[in-house]
Amino acid sequence: MDGMATQKKQEAPLLPVYLVVGEDALKRDTVMKRLRARLSAMGDLSFNSDEFGGETAAGADIVTACNTVPFASPVRLVEVRAADKLKKADAEELVAYLGAPNETTVLALVAEKLAKNTRLYKAVAAHGKTAVIDCTPLKRYELPKTVRSMAVNHGVTLTEGAAVKLVDLVGEDTVRLNNELKKIALAHRGTDAVNEHEIVGMVSRTAEVKPWEFVDAFSARDVRKCLLYLGRMDSVSPHALLAMCTTRLRELICARAMADRGNPRAVAGALKAPDWRVKNHVTWARGFTAAELRHAVIAARDTERAMKSGTDPKSAFVDWVLEVTAKR
């Protein structure tokens, strides 16, 4: 996960700078905790650390902190959070500093995103392969396995179904997942693994449904899920969902045509999409007749016109969804 994840890497010489970058906040926090623990073992950080926020920090002030001599310790820590928010001139101050950094300071730049082609990124990367610590979030399908490992750190085990359900309820934010696991560990009794039923009883849904989850339920003609998911997607407009569903219907028309020709495996190639994204397309397409798919696309055009001419967009969209997903 990071440049200090193993004992071998922990024993490696400290670099004068690290870039802790990626959208996984839990990974970033874990990396910084390990870095602070390592430096604390070398000397008292309470007198030898400074923190800055990239939104407001001046590059000159950060450089001054980096060039300060440590007190009763061989090393200082200077942490810049939201380093990707530094103004260009302030970032340039750091680029210049990193050309000849202070050997008694570790500068930790923490950021959600920082493009590899920026001068600051390149200045950090020049200090070695372990200078940039990747905190990219896991893919959703990878999360249940990670959640089970996280649970063990809190003294409990989760069944596979429980981990999947927790991700479904809480979402992909690892900080929130970790907080829920703390609560589950405190509430769980006994040594048996926490099961899916317990998760449902202990955890309330906080995850907003992703648009693609709705489109998948629509493709499967699952009316109950469609209506349930619609109530959990406050940030997605009916116009956007109609466009996404219409695109999916066209994909299903293609998938059905391929299947009818006896060539269902050619769907990915025809749609220029990876296999995993279209793995259910033939099954979903066979849930409609060819006429139903064509009619659904035509009805989508009518619904779009109605939405643009003053009809309540959400009502028009829901009526269309109910019409298309109803099984005759």
The domain segmentation of the chain, as residue ranges, is 7-134, 140-202, 211-325
For 228-319, where are the E strands, in sequence order?
A: none
At 118, the amino acid letter reads T
What's the CATH class of domain 140-202? Answer: mainly alpha
Question: Model's pTM, two decimal places?
Answer: 0.60
Question: Above 80 in pLDDT, residue 2?
Answer: no
What's the CATH class of domain 7-134? Answer: alpha beta
Distance, CA of 290 to CA of 257 (rounded, Å): 9
Asked if domains 7-134 and 211-325 share a fold, the reply is no
Task: Note the pLDDT of residue 207.
Answer: 67
For residue 286, name the pLDDT band (cuts at 50, 70, 90): very high
Q: What pLDDT digit, counting tens, does each position of 9-62 carry?
A: 446 789 999 999 999 999 999 999 999 999 999 999 989 999 999 999 999 999
Q: What pLDDT digit, counting tens, does each position of 119-176 carry?
A: 999 999 999 999 999 999 988 899 999 999 999 999 999 999 999 999 988 888 898 8
Torsion of CA 222, 298, 271, 141, to 10 degrees: -20
Task: Note the pLDDT of residue 11.
Answer: 60
Q: What are phi and psi of 81, to 5 degrees?
A: -85, 150
Task: Note the pLDDT of residue 1.
Answer: 41
Question: Above 50 in pLDDT, residue 7?
Answer: no
Task: Note the pLDDT of residue 5.
Answer: 45
Question: Above 50 in pLDDT, residue 6?
Answer: no
Q: Identify the residue whose tokens are 């990876």.
A: 274
Task: Note the pLDDT of residue 232.
Answer: 76
For residue 326, name the pLDDT band (cuts at 50, 70, 90): confident
Q: What percent of the chain has pLDDT over 90?
A: 68
What is the residue-averaged pLDDT of the chain? 90
- Of 2.40.10.120, 3.40.50.620, 1.20.272.10, 1.10.3090.10, the CATH number of 211-325 is 1.20.272.10
Task: Note the pLDDT of residue 264.
Answer: 73
For the chain, where are the E strands, in sequence order?
A: 17-21, 49-53, 76-81, 105-111, 132-134
For residue 206, name the pLDDT band (cuts at 50, 70, 90): low
Distance, CA of 323 to CA of 8 (rounded, Å): 61
For residue 8, name the pLDDT band (cuts at 50, 70, 90): very low
Q: Which residues pair with 80 in a beta bridge?
A: 52, 109
At 93, the amino acid letter reads E
Task: Note the pLDDT of residue 235.
Answer: 77
For residue 188, name the pLDDT band (cuts at 50, 70, 90): confident
Task: Note the pLDDT of residue 233.
Answer: 79
DSSP codes, 185-235: HHH--SSSPB-HHHHHHH----PPPPHHHHHHHHHTT-HHHHHHHHTT-TT
Mean pLDDT of 285-294: 94
122 neighbors 128 (Cβ within 8 angstroms) = no
